[in-house]
């Protein structure tokens, strides 16, 4: 343990370079802004150029170096190139957040298309693997780094209507544990965050549409906190896991769910 650690935990990310995929909305945007407020230079990679520009402007207002680029994480050939582009713009990546995702509400395995299945695994699992591999190759040379993967409550629970999403998110947890074991000797910590029901654009229907009122009531009754989470509450967990305060934390999946997974 170093003298710095003896003085207490530090959540300061000054001098660090962070990359957040899917960083132009929802949880990804909140994490990107949280990192910048903690002192990091932040790159966001996502598909919508207009949304990218909007978040890049927010990051610039905070005063940290920033970079935004277009990336579809299912384009395997583009992933290593994207990592290289970020490192040219901001420097070696210290923190990688694999956040980009989608959900194919197929209605169950009997209705699940092969295309939807393949896309879910490519988006959530394969991209996480390939980006982690590319970032870790650079991190191990410097003997430090943080990789944070976005899991889900459906990494733990079954999801009859979203079998491809649940399967991919379950696999993300096992991939996180496996990479954590491998990379720990290189000073790299690998963890996951499992958000519960978070108030984002994607969950707006469940929160506001009267036709979903029974479903919403069920969720709130099932959540001890009795409310929807905010994206910024996932950002707090990400800042912790990315910081020196979590240097001895690796291989975990941290729920940010208001107690949903306790039941």
* Residues acting as catalytic residues: 165
Half-sphere exposure of 250 (CA within 13 A, CB side): 20
The beta strand positions in 61-169, using DSSP E, are 66-70, 95-98, 145-150
Q: What span, in angstroms and rounded, lies between the C-alpha atoms of 39 and 191?
A: 21
Q: What span, in angstroms and rounded, lies between the C-alpha atoms of 52 and 185?
A: 35
Q: What would the two tokens of residue 245 be?
A: 């305060």
Q: Name the burial class of residue 251, with classes exposed (0-12), middle (13-18) and buried (19+) by CB atoms within 10 angstroms of its CB.
A: middle
Q: What span, in angstroms and rounded, lies between the C-alpha atoms of 64 and 32?
A: 11
**DSSP letters for 14-81:** TT-EEEEETTTSHHHHHHHHHHHHTT-EEEEEES-HHHHHHHHHHHHHHTS-EEEEE--TT-HHHHHH
């Amino acid at each position: 343990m170093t003298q710095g650690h003896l003085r207490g935990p530090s959540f300061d990310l000054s001098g660090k370079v962070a990359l957040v995929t899917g960083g132009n909305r929802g949880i990804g945007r909140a994490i990107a802004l949280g990192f910048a407020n903690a002192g990091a230079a932040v790159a966001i990679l996502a598909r919508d150029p207009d949304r990218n520009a909007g978040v890049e402007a927010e990051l610039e207002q905070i005063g940290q170096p920033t970079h935004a680029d277009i990336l579809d994480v299912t384009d395997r050939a583009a992933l290593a190139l994207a990592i290289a582009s970020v490192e040219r713009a901001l420097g070696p990546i210290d923190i990688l957040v694999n956040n980009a995702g989608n959900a194919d509400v197929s209605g169950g395995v009997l209705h699940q298309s092969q295309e939807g299945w393949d896309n879910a695994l490519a988006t959530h699992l394969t991209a996480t693997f390939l980006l982690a591999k590319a970032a870790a190759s650079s991190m191990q040379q410097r003997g430090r780094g943080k990789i944070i993967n976005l899991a889900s409550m459906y990494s733990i629970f079954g999801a009859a209507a979203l079998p491809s999403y649940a399967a991919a998110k379950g696999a993300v947890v096992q991939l996180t544990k496996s990479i954590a074991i491998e990379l720990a000797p290189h000073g790299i910590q690998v963890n996951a965050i499992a958000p519960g029901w978070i108030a984002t654009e994607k969950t707006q229907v469940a929160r506001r549409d009267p036709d979903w009122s029974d479903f919403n009531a069920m969720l709130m009754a099932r959540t001890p906190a009795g409310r929807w989470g905010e994206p910024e509450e996932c950002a707090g967990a990400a800042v912790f896991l990315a910081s020196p305060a979590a240097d001895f934390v690796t291989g975990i999946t941290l729920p940010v769910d208001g107690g949903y997974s306790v039941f």
